Chain A
Amino acid sequence: DTAVSQTPKYLVTQMGNDKSIKCEQNLGHDTMYWYKQDSKKFLKIMFSYNNKELIINETVPNRFSPKSPDKAHLNLHINSLELGDSAVYFCASSQEGNYFSPLHFGNGTRLTVT
Chain B
Amino acid sequence: KQEVTQIPAALSVPEGENLVLNCSFTDSAIYNLQWFRQDPGKGLTSLLLIQSSQREQTSGRLNASLDKSSGRSTLYIAASQPGDSATYLCAVSSQRDDKIIFGKGTRLHILP
Contacts and interface: CB of A to CB of B under 8 A. Distances in A.
Q: What is the interface residue range for chain B against chain A?
A: 20 to 34
Contacts of A4: 43
Contact of A98 (B42, B99, B102): B99
A90 B43 CA distance: 7
Contacts, number: 59
Contact of B91 (A56, A103, A104, A107): A103
B43 A107 contact: yes
Contacts of B99: 45, 56, 98
B81 interface: no
Nearest to B102: A43
Interface residues of A, number: 26
Contacts of A55: 98
A106 B42 CA distance: 8
A99 B93 contact: yes
Nearest to A104: B46
B49 interface: yes
Nearest to A98: B93
B104 A105 contact: no
Interface of B: 31-32, 34, 36, 41-46, 49, 51, 87, 89, 91, 93-94, 98-100, 102, 104-105
